[in-house]
Each structure stands twice: as structure tokens, then as C-alpha cells.
Amino acid sequence: MENFINKNVLLTGISGFLGSHTAIALLNKGYRVIGTLRDMNRAESIREVIAQHTPHADRLQFAEAELLDAEVWKSLTKGMDYVVHVASPFPRELPKDENELIVPAKQGTLHVLEAAAANGVKRVVLVSSIAAVVYGKKETELAKVFTEKDWTDVTNLQDTEPYFRSKTLAEKAAWDFVERTGRGMELVSILPGAMLGPVLENDYGTSANIVVKILAGKMPAMPHIGFEIVDVRAVAELLVLSMEAPHADGQRFMATAGPMTMKEIAATLKHHYPNRKISTREMPNFLAKLLAVFEPSLKPVLLDLGKTRKVRGDRAVNELGWNPGSPSDAIISCAKSVLDLKIVQ
């Protein structure tokens, strides 16, 4: 068994929801971590947050980096054993021009990979998304169960949106790069569903918004949609497992604990917080479409109205011994954290 203590890991996007949890998982296993930020002014507050969850915050350093700055990655990947590439643009509102998302996602990934390959990094673990598997489908295709062998068809604009296309194109570019010029560098991609679980600070992940809005009583009824859910802590563990396991090289692994509808999420929260004003009613599809006109953040949701996208997500469990946890634990731990942090009063 390889000894991973004192190995160096470059972790991109450490300030994000998954980035912070991944830093904690890596530090707790003895790695030295350099976490990249877009703004070094956030370094100390992030260190304080991470230090609450690991006794090894002294093994953590920070570096400022922009995805589109090719030069910075050349210096940051020097001396690194591994790179875990989490950073990716994820807007709360869709940009008018989808290239504002696609270009940094794809080019940023290529900059990181090119630098890692040039500097002899052993393995890169790339965070992609289930969105790179299950979209761009015709109605007839939705009857099948999707696996890691499937890809989102970015040419089908009716059944994709810019964020999904950005994740798909970035991951495809990564596999193409390694195939063409990887110089023996290994690549693994992890494809999480909607990540819930404990929020560590007030600047929280976009998917935690689902729980925040339901808990705050801001959803009088739920749109008729469902998606794969996973605990952010389990995804962080999977990133470490896939970095360490020799046989993970060249593989894609979906990260999900199972599907839940918005109504089921609301019911889970209502059960745990019976005194809060939480609606478990479902709104008709036409109303969800109408609301999306006034609430732009709902637009991507419309692709899933009344549709089920089934996945077979047990590959990481079977091949890497991963424990995905349960969807309800991910929901309740998320709720507890946003109440503790007073994000929801």
C-alpha cells in the first residue's frame, strides 16, 4: 500500500462548498494541501473555517489563481503529486452569453491539465457532474438507465442548458487532452449529483439554496421535479479515494446517494422541523413554467419538469468501496448547518 503521508496536493477552488470539504478530508489523511482562491483576501477566513474541522490546518497553504491564467498553473503544479480540480464557474443566475461559462470551464481545465502534465503530476482528479451524463436526450432515451458510459449531447439545445454544456465540454476536453498528450499522467473524473450536507460558512454552495428556500418558507409549492442527491462530505471522500486507488485511473465515477423529488425533500424537512412553515404541496407544471419567467434561477429546472432521469450510480461503491451515505442525512445536515449559521432565521 502506497504511503500518502506528506504527499502534495493542489486543490483548485478551495473556497467553494465542495472545495472546503475536500481540503478537510485531505488534511485529515495527512496530505499537504495548496488551495487556490480567486481572491487571497478570503484565505484567513477559509483557514479558520477549515481549522474547525481538522487539527491539521498547519499543513494548508493558499495561492491566488484564475482559471484563465495559464502561467499561474505552470508554477502552482510544480512539485505536486496530485491535483484535485474542483474550481468551475457555477453562477446563481445564468449569464446572457453561455460562453461566459463554457470558456472558463473548458479552458481552465485545459490550463490545469497542461501544467500538471508538463510538471510530472502523477494524477489529476477532475470534478465533473452528473449533468455531463443525463441531458441532451430525446424523449425515447429517457426510458433507459444511464451509466458512466453515457454522455450529455451538447448539440441538443432543447434538453441542455449552459451550465450542463460547460461541464460536459470541460470533461470531454480533459479526456481528449490526456488521450492525445497526457505524457503518462493519470486522470479520473467524479460526477456528483446535487450536493447537500453541512454548509461551513455564509458563502454556501448553490445546491444548498434548495434547502434554504424550503426551510425559510419561501416555496409555497414544489415544482414536480427530482434529481440525484449526495452528501458533500461523501463526495470529498470519493475524491480522495479516486486519487489514491491505482485502478481508478482512466475512469469516470458518478457520485450519488439516490434520487429525491422536491416534494420528498420538503417532506423530509417538515418531518424534522414540524414547527416551521414548510409546504409539501406540488405545483402544476404550467405554474412552474410561469414562475420561471419571473425567477430566472428556475429556468434550468424546467428541463426536468415531470421527467425522470434514471442513473445506475453504484460503480464507485463496488469498485472503490465508497460509502455515499443517505439523501435524508445530506438534507438534514444541510438544514441544521444553515440554521446554526443563521442563514435561515
13 close to 29: Cβ distance less than 8 angstroms: no
- 270 tagged catalytic: no
Where is 22: in which H helix or E strand? helix 17-28
Q: Which of 118, 252, 109, 106 is nearest to 181 (CA)?
A: 118
Strands 82-85 and 8-12: parallel
184 close to 122: Cβ distance less than 8 angstroms: no
Buried b (16+ CB within 10 A) or exposed e, 294-304: eeeebebbbbb
The residue from 122, 167, 263, 299 that is catalytic is 167
Say how many C-beta atoms besides its own lie within 10 A of residue 118's C-beta.
Answer: 15
Strands 226-231 and 258-261: antiparallel
124 close to 186: Cβ distance less than 8 angstroms: yes
The Cα 12–Cα 21 span in angstroms is 12
68 close to 99: Cβ distance less than 8 angstroms: no
Catalytic residues: 167
